[in-house]
Chains A and B, each alone.
Chain A
């Protein structure tokens, strides 16, 4: 497997969904290619940081307008 093929699989790999026929090749490539190994590690770190971004807005408060609309819809 070359770097381009490995990079193509990284999205799947983050979710542990690399197709079984490519799994060994992918892992072997990461073992022998420090650049891809580093890149993959950093990509994983990026994705897990995204899942932890703080929320910026309140907008989770039910306004009277919406509550009235909800009541009327019954």
Chain B
């Protein structure tokens, strides 16, 4: 869709303030959650989002709509985050850790993917797990605890609902890498939910009630 601009994009370029407010309302929360994966500082994450919006405003007129607006904006955030994060010494170590994260490739075998044979959860429909507030808190805590790249890929793919191709573009990763990283992230999250479903607490970690308390204290809404 090189020449065809969406009506919404046309409105934005036209300076339609309601359209811009709608865009900020729509993407703002997701952008801040994504920015948080680059830094442990909430203030810095908020700066990254603010800088992203300013760059969006500056670049809007030149944006041709080849990628979706959402993909374009998330890509801008990644560039801003990496620039800002590079200034932040604490994050250098994280970036270094990132480079060695992909350890296995599809088809090479992945023993240890499940340490023990999966046992069915004692609920009629596992899909209904999302109806449990507590289960969602456990899931959020597990997501926050994933290694940086897994957290970013899972967030974009499964929470934001972007396509695999869009995630590749935003993070500048190959399709194979995204596939592998996504699978590992999901596998760890399944394991966290599994522990919660089976005994309500982790044997080698803090009790679920503690996790829930911690997450709740961070202001889940």
Contact = CB atoms under 8 A, between A and B. Distances in A.
Interface of A: 4, 7-8, 10-11, 35, 38-39, 41-62, 65-67, 69-71, 73-74
Interface residues of B, number: 60
Given A50-B159, A70-B15, A42 B24 contact: no
Q: Is the interface of A mostly helix, strand, loop or mixed?
A: helix
A61 B113 contact: no
Q: Which 6 A-B pairs have the closest CB atoms?
A: A60-B28, A45-B126, A50-B158, A49-B130, A59-B32, A60-B25
Q: Is the interface of B mostly helix, strand, loop or mixed?
A: helix
A49 to B, nearest CB: 4
Nearest to A2: B109
Contacts of B15: 70-71, 73-74
Contact of A61 (B24, B58, B109, B183): B24
B109 A47 contact: no
Interface string B43-69: 000100110011001101100000000
A8 B182 CA distance: 11
Contacts of A11: 179, 182-183, 186
